[in-house]
Amino acid sequence: MLKQVSIYAENKKGQMEHITAVLAKENINILGSVTNDSAEFGIIRLVTTEPEKAFDALEKEGYHCRLNPVLAVEVTDEVGNLNKLLKALDESNINLDYLYLSFNRETGRPIMVFHCDGPFEVDDCLRCKGFIMTENL
């Protein structure tokens, strides 16, 4: 299972550049990301090569961070595949909190990264339904 770093950052000019500079200085690669903003603060969610190290480095810079387990499902790049995944989750009464796209650097295939309650159970459920769960971003 992947770990995601969630960073709660003030919505101001240069904030993303500062966060990426901290990670670059620590030689941490960003493998997937999504950013949600509001008027004053935003949440930046990142899957990185070294999530614990990223968490520590950003906390030292004064950012409030969390580490969360996230799931990653490799899908083929075809019409309707995201819908198949979402339908399988819905049929199993699983609610997604959010999802975003990354890709498998070895195969080039799209990977849907998502967060939900009970990630270990959801991982088992999706594997039983034939989905390819991965940690290779």
pLDDT digits (tens, 9 = 90+) for 3-33: 999 999 988 899 999 999 999 999 999 999 9
Structure tokens at 68: 């969360």
Give the pLDDT score at 137: 81
Query: Which residues does residue 49 pair with via DSSP β-bridges, in sequence order?
Result: none
What CATH number has the domain bearing residue 103?
Answer: 3.30.70.260
pLDDT digits (tens, 9 = 90+) for 28-44: 999 999 998 777 889 99
- Residues 39, 62, single domain; the answer is yes
| Domain limit, last residue, from 47, 69, 91 | 69
Residue for token pair 């101001």: 12
- Residue 3 · residue 49 · CB < 8 Å: no
DSSP code string of 17-52: HHHHHHHHHTT--EEEEEEEE-SSEEEEEEEES-HH
- Residues 6, 64, single domain; the answer is yes
pLDDT digits (tens, 9 = 90+) for 37-79: 777 889 999 999 999 999 999 999 999 999 999 999 998 889 9
